[in-house]
Structure 1
Amino acid sequence: MSETALAAVSCAELMTTQAPTIDHLKALDIARQTYGLEGTLKLLNGERDANFLVRTASEAFVLKFINPAEDPSVISFQTQALLHIERHGAHLPVPRMLAARSGEFEPRVVVQGQNLTLRTVTYLDGISQNLGTPSVALMHELGSTLAQVNLALKDFHHPAAQRDLLWDVGHAERVRPYMHCLDAEQLPLVSALLDHHEQQVKPQLARLRAQVIHNDLNPHNVMLDCETGSRVAAIIDFGDALHAPLINELGTALSYQVDADASDPLWLIKAFVAAYNARIPLQTEELAVLGDLITLRMAMAITIAQWRASLYPENRDYVLRNLSTTWRNLQCLTAMPAGMLTDSLINACTPEAL
């Protein structure tokens, strides 16, 4: 079996191992016994883990029962990344770790004979970005905030940061085994984008600066203030974090900010990248591949979503909630004249862009 195929199998294991099934009362008892949390409990949506919102009289937390297929070293990596941000970016709106009564940040519990690792973080209230009001000001704030998160993580190192992850846009070829889930209209475009990535983009990524990145700034991981829905309240879910080319962070984040229905489909992207560039100036070589990474991430999202929907038909609506929008946006970008997307990104990163 080839190295690419082996990596694909390794990545898929976590995506195909169902999240732990935890009884509501059992979860509440664990919150009380392990963390001393007394209050109400509500199940939250999650792709890989079992997550619960625990509300006490004065605070709220997210109690996570981590997928048993997750590598313990990766669990440590994610925990230490959050602790590193707390030390080096205390002002940033990201969740804070809660230690168990024992002092551990990764306590273990036995549920129905299964050993599970816990992680509990502060709950940052808000509404997801897709329910808010799109604006240039919001994109400026989000781009600047993401850049500050990346700056806080710049000097963070961990042995497990180099991980095989299906959602790693730098190794998009790992989704090839799941292309049979695409429909006849989607297959040619996704295949062409993957070919271009392997032949032209991936060799360039190896020469670009790299560090630990969040790697999943989609609208469901961006919380906005409840009152106006126009300010960033939190960036959540570091479950896909890894060490990768820094530009991959933007490729992923911007793939969710295309607006195919607007007169200028790139109006959100341009404001976002301009603000990010003001904090972390982007290099010429990075901007040269950014457009390719945006479309590639969208192609990956279409493929992975339909594959997972075939595995878990009972969760199909949740898994495919963004499919039609992503496909429409991808068609919009790939229909643009050659070079237009890249030129727009470069022009946005000029001093007068803000």
Structure 2
Amino acid sequence: MSEAIIDTVCCADLMTTQAPSVSTHEVLEIAERVYGLKGTLKPLNGERDANFLIQSNTGAFVLKFINAAEDPNVISFQTQVLLHIKAHGAHLPVPRVLPSRNGEVEPNVRVNGQPLTLRTVSYLDGISQNLGTPSVALMHELGTSLADVNLALKAFRHPAAHRDLLWDVGHAERVRPYLDSLDADQLPLVARLLDNHETSVKPRLAKLRAQVIHNDLNPHNVMLDCATGSRVSAIIDFGDALYAPLINELGTALSYQFDADANDPLWQIKAFVAAYNARITLQREELEVLGELIAMRMAMAITIAQWRASLYPENRTYVLRNLRTTWRNLQCLTALPEGLLTQSLINACTPEAQ
């Protein structure tokens, strides 16, 4: 079996293994026994894990029963990411790990005879970004917040950070086996973007600076304060974190900030990247590849979503919730005049060009 096929199989395991099945009764019993938590429970959506929100008299927490296919070293990596941010970015609004009664940050539990690893973190209240009010000010705040997360993680090292992940835009070629899940009108564009990624983008990424990144700043992982819906109250879900070129962080995040309905569909992207650049100066070589990463991440999103919808038709509505918007944005983005996106990104990071 070739290395490329092995990589694809490994990073797809989590996407094809059902999330653990845990009843409400079992969660409440485990929460009390392991953490001393009593309260009311609410199931939360999750792509790979079984997640529950518990409201207790000592606060609100999210219990994550981690997918059995997850590598224990990767579980450790994800936990250590949060602990590292607490130590090096205490001001940042990210979840805090709750130790068990025995002081464990990753206690093992048995559910229906199956051993599972559990991670519990503080719940940060808010509404997801897609329910808030878009504004330049919000994009500035979000760009600054993401840069601060990256600064906090700059020196973080962990062996499992170098992981194979289907959602890694730096290795977009891993979605090739799933192109047959696309509609006929989607396939030519996605295939063209993949060809360009392999021949032009990936060789350039190998020469750029790299570190551990969040890797999934989509609007469902950004919480806004409930009062105004216009201020960042939390950045959540570090489950896709990995060691990768730093610019991949923005390629992923900005793929969700394109506004096809606006007179200037790049207005959110430009405000976001300008604020990020004010905290972490982006190199010319990074900006020159960023536009292609944004488009590639969109293409990956529609491919993976439709593949997973075919695997789990009972969860189709949730999996495809963003498909229509993402496809429309990708069509609009790739229809822009050649070079416009890249030049707009460069101008946004060049004060004298404003």
TM-score normalised by the chain length of structure 1: 0.99
Superposition deviation, residue 72 in structure 1: 0.1
Residues 240-296 of structure 1 show CA distances to partners (whole Å, capped at 9, x for unaligned) of 000000000000000000000100000000000000000000001000100000000
Letter in 1 for 2:8: A
1:181 alignment counterpart: 181
Letter in 2 for 1:106: E
Aligned to 1:61, the other structure's residue is in SS state: strand
1:116 alignment counterpart: 116
Letter in 1 for 2:156: F
List aligned pairs for 1:211-290, cutoff 5 A.
211-290=211-290
1:349 alignment counterpart: 349
Residues 209-233 of structure 1 show CA distances to partners (whole Å, capped at 9, x for unaligned) of 0000000000000000001100000
Output the CA distance in 2 between the equivalents of 1:96 and 1:199: 41
Aligned to 2:244, the other structure's residue is in SS state: strand
List aligned pairs for 1:253-332, cutoff 5 A.
253-332=253-332
Output the CA distance in 1 between the equivalents of 2:268 and 2:95: 26
Superposition deviation, residue 205 in structure 1: 0.3
1:134 alignment counterpart: 134
| Residue 26 (structure 2) pairs with residue 26 (structure 1) | yes
Output the CA distance in 1 between the equivalents of 2:50 and 2:115: 14
| Residue 167 (structure 2) pairs with residue 157 (structure 1) | no
Gaps of 5+ in 1: none
Between Structure 1 and Structure 2, how many residues are aligned? 354
Question: Moved runs in structure 1, 4+ residues, more than 4 A?
Answer: none
Superposition deviation, residue 352 in structure 1: 5.5
Aligned to 1:257, the other structure's residue is in SS state: coil
Is the 1:306–1:320 Cα contact (8 Å) retained in structure 2? yes
Is the 1:124–1:233 Cα contact (8 Å) retained in structure 2? yes
Output the CA distance in 1 between the equivalents of 2:323 and 2:4: 26
Letter in 2 for 1:113: G
| Residue 193 (structure 2) pairs with residue 193 (structure 1) | yes
Seq. identity, %: 78
Superposition deviation, residue 6 in structure 1: 1.0
Aligned to 2:256, the other structure's residue is in SS state: coil
Is the 1:274–1:353 Cα contact (8 Å) retained in structure 2? no
1:40 alignment counterpart: 40
Residues 122-171 of structure 1 show CA distances to partners (whole Å, capped at 9, x for unaligned) of 00000000000000000000000000000000000000000000000000
Superposition deviation, residue 57 in structure 1: 2.1
Distance 1:75 1:353, change over 3 A: farther
Superposition deviation, residue 350 in structure 1: 1.4
Output the CA distance in 1 between the equivalents of 2:352 and 2:40: 50
Output the CA distance in 2 between the equivalents of 1:353 and 1:330: 27
Output the CA distance in 2 between the equivalents of 1:13 and 1:123: 28
Residues 53-82 of structure 1 show CA distances to partners (whole Å, capped at 9, x for unaligned) of 010124100000000000000000000010
Residues 75-100 of structure 1 show CA distances to partners (whole Å, capped at 9, x for unaligned) of 00000010000000000000000000
2:8 alignment counterpart: 8
Output the CA distance in 1 between the equivalents of 2:35 and 2:234: 23
Letter in 2 for 1:100: S
Letter in 2 for 1:20: P
Output the CA distance in 1 between the equivalents of 2:350 and 2:27: 51
Superposition deviation, residue 2 in structure 1: 2.0
Aligned alpha-carbon RMSD (Å): 0.8
TM-score normalised by the chain length of structure 2: 0.99
Superposition deviation, residue 351 in structure 1: 2.3
Output the CA distance in 1 between the equivalents of 2:58 and 2:350: 46
1:62 alignment counterpart: 62
Output the CA distance in 2 between the equivalents of 1:56 and 1:353: 52
Superposition deviation, residue 3 in structure 1: 1.3
Residues 278-320 of structure 1 show CA distances to partners (whole Å, capped at 9, x for unaligned) of 0000001000100000000000000000000000000000000
Aligned to 1:110, the other structure's residue is in SS state: strand
Aligned to 2:262, the other structure's residue is in SS state: coil
